[in-house]
């Protein structure tokens, strides 16, 4: 991503000049300079209106201040030029050092006449330290793409490089007319990008049901200097913003959204930071985007990569998450008849699933306690696997088969169950689904993980024949857009602590009661699958 490349360059400059220390990460460095002298900047005039500079067509220049964005309207034949005085007097900076200027701009509105298929927005940004700004071909050029442009200008401190010239000009717009205009916001700073776009999916869709969606914000770090908002759009009505999906001002000021969800740390549960958005429409395609707003400065923020999802067509399934034991479950499970009739809450349904799974696990844990897990390595059942590996793999497998993942849509590999039916008697009798549904079968890799991680004395085995495999398990697929099976938990668990565990090992010691407990566990396995 371009933004991180700019930050790396900037941080590298400060580190090689001795202005950073080992106890500061990259965010600390840029945030320190961002915070300095920015609290007093005022984006608003005396009338409380946002600064909106509409320049003439005569090449007039406007002076830009650090982290004080300017908003302007430009026509097809216009060319607007700005100047930015580079600051060489900041503490720790000498005239001989190279100084970076972060350039960022966002298109708030654009002409409808532009080719819809093009990601480019018919607008370009030019910059240079040379005073001859009339010659655009001699300037560095940045095209606006999906409503966003960013760049990095560096000054070596020479007398003729103390002023940065920035020009905004429409181009590459053959379909545009003389009446077409663009509204944009431009911000320059020597500390960081005023407007940012992050191509990483910071939040992800865990699953949906007929009227809600569960998300994971596992990769999001909540900070006191920022606020986060999730915007959800009906995908059929998102066309006006689709070409500006990287523009902070376009998204922040648009009113086409159907849901605006302030995302706070108090709204998430578990280490995966699950949260949900409710009151959605059945059988509807949605587009979502996460917006970050900076609180320590007057204006600016980040846009994160958009995401798409669809709600189910029936209320046969209900998203559950935040479970105590199966804490990594966050997907739609078969809904109960009591839930559908309004006699049960979603939390109560989730607790029924969770408590039952925990009871089954307890018997397995009793059996595993007979294994000398803490013995010397040569007395353990494996030189590279531990009882903790076994506990984790068995728990995740048990959660996946006891709490089936549910879908209202038919797809190859999914197993159909009629109403009041299910994988086992617990689903059929206790949950009592009122409607037919399709189960997304557990991934066969979860079963294989138990065989790999647990003592061989348990006798765990997994189906290998295709005709048996499709009855209880699905096969993992590299295609992330097509969910072929259900995997619960951390797929990288098999690599944990392997290096520390490698040694010569021996057979595990078995207590007299262990064989009895293994028979019990085998009965559970047969019952569930």
The CATH number given to whatever domain includes residue 233 is 2.60.40.10
What is the rounded distance in angstroms from the CA atom of residue 111 to the CA atom of residue 179?
9
Q: Where are the extended beta strands (E) located within 445-515?
A: none
Using 50, 70 and 90 to split pLDDT, how confident is the model at 44?
very low
The pLDDT of 500-518, averaged and rounded, is 32
pLDDT in tens, 316-358: 999 999 999 999 999 999 999 999 999 999 999 999 999 999 9
Confidence at residue 255, expressed as pLDDT on a 0 to 100 scale: 87
Using 50, 70 and 90 to split pLDDT, how confident is the model at 524?
very low
Confidence at residue 505, expressed as pLDDT on a 0 to 100 scale: 27
Q: Are 246 and 222 contained in the same domain?
A: yes
Using 50, 70 and 90 to split pLDDT, how confident is the model at 132?
low
Examine residue 46 and state whether it is found in any structural domain, yes or no: yes
Q: Helical H runs in 180-247?
A: 239-242
What's the chain's Rg over C-alpha atoms? 29
Q: List the Cα angle 328/334/337 in 5-degree steps.
A: 130
Q: Helical H runs in 272-386?
A: 337-340, 346-368
Residue 143's SS3 state is: strand
Residue 46 has pLDDT above 50, yes or no: no
Residue 65 and residue 164 in contact, taking contact as beta carbons nearer than 8 Å: no
Residue 310 and residue 54 in contact, taking contact as beta carbons nearer than 8 Å: no
The two counts, helices (H) then strands (E), for the chain are 12, 23
Residue 521 has pLDDT above 70, yes or no: no
What is the rounded distance in angstroms from the CA atom of residue 486 to the CA atom of residue 467?
19
Strand partners, 287: 233, 308
Confidence at residue 477, expressed as pLDDT on a 0 to 100 scale: 79
Q: Is the dihedral of CA 447, 449, 450, 456 positive or negative?
A: positive
Q: Are 331 and 347 contained in the same domain?
A: yes
| Pairing verdict, β 80-85 and 61-64 | parallel
Using 50, 70 and 90 to split pLDDT, how confident is the model at 114?
confident
Instruction: Calculate what percentage of the chain has a pLDDT beyond 90.
Output: 56
Provide the domain count of the chain.
3
What is the rounded distance in angstroms from the CA atom of residue 171 to the CA atom of residue 399?
57
Residue 305 has pLDDT above 90, yes or no: yes
Q: Which residue has the higher pLDDT, 30 or 261?
A: 261
Residue 33's SS3 state is: helix
Residue 50 has pLDDT above 50, yes or no: no
Q: Which residue has the higher pLDDT, 436 or 175?
A: 436
Q: Are 38 and 158 contained in the same domain?
A: yes
Examine residue 198 and state whether it is found in any structural domain, yes or no: no
Examine residue 104 and state whether it is found in any structural domain, yes or no: yes
Residue 364's SS3 state is: helix
Examine residue 51 and state whether it is found in any structural domain, yes or no: yes
The overall average pLDDT reported for the chain is: 80
Using 50, 70 and 90 to split pLDDT, how confident is the model at 469?
confident
Using 50, 70 and 90 to split pLDDT, how confident is the model at 374?
confident
Confidence at residue 118, expressed as pLDDT on a 0 to 100 scale: 67
Residue 185 has pLDDT above 60, yes or no: yes
Q: Are 322 and 306 contained in the same domain?
A: no
What is the rounded distance in angstroms from the CA atom of residue 409 to the CA atom of residue 476?
19
Chain centroid offset of residue 415 CA: 30
Examine residue 378 and state whether it is found in any structural domain, yes or no: yes
Confidence at residue 155, expressed as pLDDT on a 0 to 100 scale: 79
What is the rounded distance in angstroms from the CA atom of residue 372 to the CA atom of residue 375?
5
Confidence at residue 33, expressed as pLDDT on a 0 to 100 scale: 34
Q: Are 291 and 397 contained in the same domain?
A: no
Q: Are 240 and 333 contained in the same domain?
A: no
What is the maximal distance between C-alpha atoms in the chain?
Answer: 95
| Pairing verdict, β 274-277 and 195-198 | unpaired
Among residues 20, 47, 50, 7, the alpha carbon closest in space to that of 298 is found at 50
User: Which residues have CB under 8 Å from 467's CB, separation 6+?
Assistant: none
Among residues 271, 506, 496, the alpha carbon closest in space to that of 391 is found at 496
Examine residue 199 and state whether it is found in any structural domain, yes or no: no
Using 50, 70 and 90 to split pLDDT, how confident is the model at 98?
confident
How many residues can be counted in the chain?
529
pLDDT in tens, 387-443: 999 999 999 999 999 999 999 999 989 999 999 888 899 999 999 999 999 999 999
Confidence at residue 360, expressed as pLDDT on a 0 to 100 scale: 96
Confidence at residue 529, expressed as pLDDT on a 0 to 100 scale: 55
Using 50, 70 and 90 to split pLDDT, how confident is the model at 375?
confident
Q: Which of 285, 310, 335 is the last residue before a domain boundary?
A: 310
Examine residue 180 and state whether it is found in any structural domain, yes or no: yes
Q: Which of 170, 193, 216 is the last residue before a domain boundary?
A: 193
Q: Are 175 and 226 contained in the same domain?
A: no
Residue 277 and residue 212 in contact, taking contact as beta carbons nearer than 8 Å: yes
What is the rounded distance in angstroms from the CA atom of residue 229 to the CA atom of residue 245?
15
Q: Are 386 and 412 contained in the same domain?
A: yes
Query: Can you give the residue range of the structural domain that contains 366?
Result: 317-528
**Residue 378 phi, psi dihedral angles, 5° rounding:** -75, 0
- DSSP-derived secondary structure letter, 123: E
Q: Are 322 and 301 contained in the same domain?
A: no
Among residues 196, 307, 202, 200, the alpha carbon closest in space to that of 252 is found at 196
Q: Are 282 and 411 contained in the same domain?
A: no
Least confident of 101-105, 321-325, 375-379, 455-459: 375-379
Using 50, 70 and 90 to split pLDDT, how confident is the model at 495?
very low
pTM: 0.79
Examine residue 424 and state whether it is found in any structural domain, yes or no: yes
Q: Are 78 and 170 contained in the same domain?
A: yes
Using 50, 70 and 90 to split pLDDT, how confident is the model at 490?
low
Q: Are 419 and 358 contained in the same domain?
A: yes
Least confident of 47-56, 261-270, 329-338, 403-412: 47-56
Q: Which of 288, 310, 332 is the last residue before a domain boundary?
A: 310
Q: List the Cα angle 220/226/228 in 5-degree steps.
A: 60
Residue 129 and residue 161 in contact, taking contact as beta carbons nearer than 8 Å: yes
Residue 42 has pLDDT above 50, yes or no: no
Confidence at residue 471, expressed as pLDDT on a 0 to 100 scale: 86
Using 50, 70 and 90 to split pLDDT, how confident is the model at 162?
confident
């Amino acid at each position: 991503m371009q933004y991180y490349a700019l930050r790396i360059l900037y941080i590298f400059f400060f580190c090689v000049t001795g202005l950073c220390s080992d106890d500061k990460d990259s965010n600390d460095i840029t945030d320190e300079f961002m915070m300095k002298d920015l609290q007093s900047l005022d984006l608003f005039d005396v009338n409380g209106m946002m600064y909106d500079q509409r320049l003439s067509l005569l090449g007039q220049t406007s002076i830009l201040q650090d982290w004080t964005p300017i908003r302007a309207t430009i026509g097809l034949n216009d060319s607007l030029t700005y100047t930015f005085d580079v600051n060489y007097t900041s503490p720790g900076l000498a005239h001989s050092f190279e100084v970076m200027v972060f350039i960022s701009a966002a298109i708030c509105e654009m002409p409808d006449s532009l080719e819809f298929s093009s990601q480019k927005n018919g607008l370009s940004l030019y910059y240079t330290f040379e005073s001859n700004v009339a010659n655009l071909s001699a300037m560095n050029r940045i095209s606006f793409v999906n409503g966003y442009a960013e760049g990095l200008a560096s000054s070596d401190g020479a007398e003729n490089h103390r002023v940065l010239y920035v020009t905004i000009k429409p181009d590459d717009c053959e379909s545009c007319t003389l009446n077409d205009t663009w509204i944009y916001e431009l911000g320059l700073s020597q500390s960081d990008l005023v407007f940012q776009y992050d191509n990483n999916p910071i939040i992800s869709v865990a699953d949906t049901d007929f009227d809600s969606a569960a998300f994971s914000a596992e990769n999001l770090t909540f900070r006191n200097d920022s606020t986060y908002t999730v915007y959800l759009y009906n995908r059929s009505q998102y066309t006006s913003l689709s070409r500006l999906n990287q523009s902070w001002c376009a998204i922040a000021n648009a009113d086409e959204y159907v849901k605006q969800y302030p995302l706070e740390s108090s709204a998430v549960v578990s280490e995966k930071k699950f949260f949900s958005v409710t009151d959605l429409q059945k059988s509807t395609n949605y587009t979502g985007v996460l917006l970050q707003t900076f609180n320590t400065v007057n204006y600016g923020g980040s846009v994160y990569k958009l995401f798409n999802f669809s709600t189910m067509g029936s209320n046969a399934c209900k998203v559950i998450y935040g479970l105590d034991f199966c804490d990594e479950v966050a997907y739609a499970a078969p809904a109960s008849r009591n839930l559908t009739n309004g006699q049960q809450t979603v939390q109560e349904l989730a607790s029924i699933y969770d408590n039952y799974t925990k009871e089954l696990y307890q018997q397995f844990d009793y059996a595993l306690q007979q294994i000398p897990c803490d013995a010397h390595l040569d007395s353990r059942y494996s030189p590279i696997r531990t009882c903790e590996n076994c506990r984790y793999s068995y728990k995740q497998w048990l959660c996946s088969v006891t709490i089936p993942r549910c879908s209202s849509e038919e797809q190859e590999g999914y197993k159909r169950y009629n109403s009041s039916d299910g994988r086992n008697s617990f689903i059929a009798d206790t949950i009592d689904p009122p409607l037919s549904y399709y189960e997304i079968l557990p991934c066969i890799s979860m079963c294989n993980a138990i065989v790999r991680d647990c003592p061989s004395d348990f006798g765990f085995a997994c189906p290998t024949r295709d005709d048996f495999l499709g009855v209880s398990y699905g096969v993992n697929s590299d295609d992330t857009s097509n969910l072929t099976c259900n995997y619960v938990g951390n797929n990288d668990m098999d690599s944990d602590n392997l290096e520390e565990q490698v040694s010569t090992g021996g057979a595990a010691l078995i207590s007299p009661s262990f064989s009895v407990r293994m028979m019990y566990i085998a009965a559970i396995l047969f019952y569930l699958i």
